[in-house]
Amino acid sequence: MEREGSSAGKSLMQTGVFYAILSYFIWGVLPIYWKQMEQVDAMGILVNRIFWSFIFSLLLVLGTRKGKALLQTLKDLQADKRQAILIITASILISLNWLLFIWAVNSGYITETSLGYYINPLISMLLGVLFLKEKLSSIQIVSFCLATLGVLILTFGHGSFPFIALGLAISFGFYGLCKKSIPLEPAIGLVIETFFALPIPLLYVIYTITTGNGGTFVHSFGTHLFLIGSGLVTILPLLLFARGIQLIPMTLMGILQYIAPTITLLLGVLMYGEPFSQLEFIAFLFIWGALALFSASNFRLDHAAKRTSSDKSMT
């Protein structure tokens, strides 16, 4: 029986790793998808992404018979103003993150977007210290300093601040902070987030009509298909990620998350010919080193916690 339990646990772990890798792979190659709509301005892509994400996530919730759970969640949010404010804030933050990412990809800054998502775990760590009173180990402090040094090298080396990278990292970091305080079922949470973001498409449509720019919505059939599909490519990796994180340890998920920015970096340099200077390589070395230390520290802490738990269960 013990061997069967061990085998089942291993199978679940492998399934979780598969879901996690697939979600990060999709996120990593998404710049290719957005590049197919270079003729559409970033705001136009964003409003379609929000609208179709809402439609597809709502259909998913209704199709899996979670409509009652959605209505109950909305009632709970109506009664809990703090939770409502947090989810509205999360909705605004993820919308800004999407807009900045789409604009950066279609403006030739794919490598800088990858930098943003390399930095993101370290920003999340800092937010945990500042807002959740979490404690940092000495290794984690060193990793944060190394990453900061990498960003400073980029800043002073180029003479310009990496606004895109830090904008992506900070917006997604605060989004994660909000989400941590809102324990919602993934599909239901996505429906509510995109619902609160719907005023953005509405205001954009009103703006384009009143300014006489209605032609903004006139595109080829193929482009319209890509715009509709933006909802699917948004919710699919989120659902895969949510399933994967339920089956594997956070430390392993933390290591796997670097798949996405690594793929994005390679796409920017090798596929789209974006410049990657020696200075940028040195800066990335500091950040990669910081992430290696950060991941090693998380693994060590997780292993120590499991050992403590195992010792307690044996006594």
Domain extent listing, the chain: 2-121+164-277
The pLDDT tens digits of the residues spanning 126-176 come to 888 888 887 877 887 888 888 889 888 887 776 778 899 999 999 998 998
The pLDDT tens digits of the residues spanning 276-314 come to 888 889 988 998 888 888 777 766 766 665 666 555 555
> Taking the CB of residue 73, how many other CB atoms lie within 10 A of it?
20
Higher-pLDDT residue of 296 and 19 is: 19
How high is the mean pLDDT of the chain? 86
Please tell me the pTM assigned to this model.
0.85
Residue 16 has pLDDT above 90, yes or no: no
Q: Please give the Cα distance from 313 to 307 (Å, whole number).
A: 10
